[in-house]
Amino acid sequence: MDGRDRDAGGRARSARPRDGLGRPLPYGEPGVPRQPEGVVRTPAETVGEAQRLLDAGMPFHAHEVFEDAWKSGPAPDAPLWRGLAQLAVGLTHAARGNAVGGARLLRRGADALDTAPVAEAYGIDLPGLVVWARELARRVEAGEPVDAAAHAPRLVPAPQS
């Protein structure tokens, strides 16, 4: 063996704990529980779990939820979930202080959602997310710091009362 951490399937996978933005912490440090991989959820469950993670300031983990949806769901839905994953990882990079990578991924996700052939958006506010992502990318490039929870998007519009 090469001494690397491995998962139950024998694949190389770091066992180091991670913070809410997915950054590795030293062994023995308390971290945020990882999202289990390969979870099949309904679209509503995907949106709900991702929103919970975004609201908690954990966009890296929300990205993994979207990634599961794009890999396990119907092929026509893949562009939607992939674009949402790009937004989440863009927010992750921006919150980590990586302005170039954060802005690039936010714009890539916005472009994907703006042009993807989406048969069903599952109540997700795609136009609002596109505006949010492009505006946050502009602010990140202008040097504004990003707090992952404070800058988290709303995936579904709030109900009108």
CATH of the domain at 66: 1.10.3450.10
User: Tokens 């609002």 sit at which residue?
Assistant: 128
Arithmetic mean of pLDDT, 104-121? 89
pLDDT at 106: 98
Q: Give dist(CA 8, CA 14) in Å, integer.
A: 12
Arithmetic mean of pLDDT, 21-38? 83
Look up the pTM and report it: 0.86
> Running DSSP on this structure, what letter comes out for residue 77?
G
Q: Which residues constitute the domain of residue 127?
A: 43-141
Is residue 108 scored above 70 in pLDDT?
yes
pLDDT at 1: 53
Examine residue 161 and state whether it is found in any structural domain, yes or no: no
Confidence tier at 17 by pLDDT (50, 70, 90): confident
Domain count, the chain: 1
Examine residue 34 and state whether it is found in any structural domain, yes or no: no
Print burial letters for 33-47: b (CB count within 10 Å at least 16), e (below 16).
eebeeeeebebeebb
Examine residue 7 and state whether it is found in any structural domain, yes or no: no
Q: List pLDDT tens digits, range 57-103.
A: 999 999 999 999 999 989 889 999 999 999 999 999 999 999 999 99
